[in-house]
Structure 1
């Protein structure tokens, strides 16, 4: 009897493996990549005590520890074991993200994962697999985009390490990054990627300003450079979001009988206009700040497609919503606002 039950169980597992082979294979690849990173990390205390590491690196690690303490004590984010270890990337990227969209609609391709829900992007620790997915999506006629990822969160399931690439960032950019990722570990709503990313961006920027003001003062170079960066990207955000509205209006005006050659001509003409007009945006950031902030600006040499605009909506569309709710309903009391969010939106 037990032997028969065992054979049935094995048979069911075999069927599931064949049926969900792509998901199982992807999950194994992701788990292997994550474990490889965690296996090769060093405790922060060990790095700080090692004379082989330069003082500049140690100072940035100490700054990350300060940012984390501020996030827990002053912002009320959840306690976390993340950023207590260090992983040296040796100058190499370690994660890539693929996004895709319909060619004449601002509609993203969705991927579904157990537990964490639906995402409009898919990450890979193996570049060749990311390239293979992009090739397949292009064969389907979709717009695609592949980009390196500078940080990610395992949502509190694992203790995320400090990546060596973090240390190239300015004080403000680093504070925003750490607070952004810790926000994911505090509140992450299933099947609500746009909400999650917009919230983490809002908290990251708000928290970074508070941290910089507390540590350096509002007249300091770190604070002023970050403020100028934030002001620039608010203008940039509005420009790109206006561009998405233009594209959306254009696409909705297409008729089923409109030839693709006409659709393509109008699409790329509109995108080029969005790119060309971005040159009018003023920028008061210092040279140091410009070098240390991740570039999101459009370029004329490689025009973005719908996948770029979809990715932008995922992270930036709801910024005003959070800001207005925070200021008008909660009077700028962040801990009170965070408590409200936790009670209103069930997290993983």
Structure 2
């Protein structure tokens, strides 16, 4: 399952030296610098004769999507996604997420600029697994997954912006569009200490924008490919959401740990087994499509908790977009107003918007 990470690439030296976890910040700086050094303007790639025609076609497609994002979706017009880098690896960053044995609430890490977030990203897969082992020794359930792209929130456009990467440039057309739109949406606004709000907003933009791109720009083949993939994704998300609800009921996260620990463990095992059996039946209905196999094999509280950040608030943002007359500028203004609310009021407002959609 594709996810995206927020990472502020270059941290000011004063913040580096003030933070106890200097090694972590240094790897963030080094990783981002390496990526930027590997990137070149798309125009140079297109003019370079040895570059494969297939890559040139994808880069040209990405540039059309970039212009569409600006003109049709009113997303920021800046240096981002006008450069390309081949990192010679399958992911740009590896995220580590962790949660307790009987909770879907993610462990958070707090940073000087972005605030507290529910994951920790590494440019080195080995370092990500080192961190995961340490967390597992603390009794936490841990998940490590590769991330194809991340956003620097527009703060580093002076350095060339966020580049297109080999980690996602060959995605199916609809998914490539969604990726670009999602990451640019993070440049519209970012709310400190609220991962669910940030990711749900960006996911809503990617869904709505991706559908509009395909409807107006996509070929019949691209539309059919996306329809098939998205139908499976929606079914899978419905299954995982149902499992999250079931697990949350078992854990009853806001109550003290139930004294009947063996019963709770047994219920958790049954819920996870049922999840995997239901997924196996879904695969049969998909003709054996196995795109979610790795996620399901490693599914635990951490992976379910991470997925929730990208899904739970999306219906509210989609309803808000409809309420604002499907006008992108009005929609962004409404989201900014929500962003300025205190966290509890913001969450309550989103819930009310979802409730109004259901009752309507």
What TM-score do the two structures reach when normalised by structure 1?
0.85
Which residue matches 2:333? 339
| Equivalent residue pairs, number | 322
3-state DSSP of counterpart to 1:186: coil
Contact 1:109–1:120, Cα closer than 8 Å, also in 2: yes
Which residue matches 1:271? 272
Could you say if the C-alpha distance between residues 54 and 346 of structure 1 is closer, same or farther in structure 2, counting changes exceeding 3 Å?
Answer: farther
Find the aligned partners of 1:71 and 1:299 in 2 and give their Cα distance. Answer: 30
Could you say if the C-alpha distance between residues 344 and 262 of structure 1 is closer, same or farther in structure 2, counting changes exceeding 3 Å?
Answer: closer
Displacement of 1:225 after TM fit?
A: 2.0
Contact 2:191–2:339, Cα closer than 8 Å, also in 1: yes
Structure of larger gyration radius = 1
Find the aligned partners of 2:91 and 2:218 in 1 and give their Cα distance. Answer: 31
Find the aligned partners of 1:139 and 1:202 in 2 and give their Cα distance. Answer: 36
Find the aligned partners of 1:282 and 1:323 in 2 and give their Cα distance. Answer: 28
The equivalences for 1:107-122 within 5 A come to 107-122=105-120
Which residue matches 1:177? 179
Contact 1:175–1:204, Cα closer than 8 Å, also in 2: yes
The equivalences for 1:55-134 within 5 A come to 55-134=53-132
3-state DSSP of counterpart to 2:142: strand
Which residue matches 2:250? 250
| Unaligned segments of structure 2, at least 5 residues | 1-12, 342-360
Could you say if the C-alpha distance between residues 170 and 133 of structure 1 is closer, same or farther in structure 2, counting changes exceeding 3 Å?
Answer: same
Find the aligned partners of 1:234 and 1:93 in 2 and give their Cα distance. Answer: 24
3-state DSSP of counterpart to 1:96: strand
Which residue matches 1:240? 240
User: 155-164 or 138-147, which moves further after superposition?
Assistant: 155-164
The equivalences for 1:1-348 within 5 A come to 17=17, 20-22=19-21, 24-158=22-156, 159-216=161-218, 220-252=220-252, 255-259=257-261, 261-281=262-282, 295-296=291-292, 302-327=297-322, 329-346=323-340
Contact 2:90–2:148, Cα closer than 8 Å, also in 1: no
3-state DSSP of counterpart to 2:151: coil
**What is the CA deviation profile of residues 196-220 of structure 1, one whole-angstrom value per residue up to 9, with x for unaligned ones?**
1111111111111111221136xx1
Could you say if the C-alpha distance between residues 28 and 58 of structure 1 is closer, same or farther in structure 2, counting changes exceeding 3 Å?
Answer: same
**What is the CA deviation profile of residues 227-274 of structure 1, one whole-angstrom value per residue up to 9, with x for unaligned ones?**
332232222222211111100111128854223x54333212211111
What TM-score do the two structures reach when normalised by structure 2?
0.82
Find the aligned partners of 2:286 and 2:24 in 1 and give their Cα distance. Answer: 41
Could you say if the C-alpha distance between residues 268 and 72 of structure 1 is closer, same or farther in structure 2, counting changes exceeding 3 Å?
Answer: same
- Backbone CA RMSD of aligned residues: 2.6
Displacement of 1:84 after TM fit?
A: 1.4
| Unaligned segments of structure 1, at least 5 residues | 1-12
Contact 2:250–2:264, Cα closer than 8 Å, also in 1: no
Contact 1:225–1:286, Cα closer than 8 Å, also in 2: no
Could you say if the C-alpha distance between residues 242 and 34 of structure 1 is closer, same or farther in structure 2, counting changes exceeding 3 Å?
Answer: same
Displacement of 1:303 after TM fit?
A: 4.5
Which residue matches 2:349? none
Find the aligned partners of 2:150 and 2:251 in 1 and give their Cα distance. Answer: 33
3-state DSSP of counterpart to 1:82: coil
Displacement of 1:277 after TM fit?
A: 1.2
Displacement of 1:285 after TM fit?
A: 7.8
Displacement of 1:68 after TM fit?
A: 0.7
Contact 1:29–1:125, Cα closer than 8 Å, also in 2: yes
User: 151-160 or 234-243, which moves further after superposition?
Assistant: 234-243
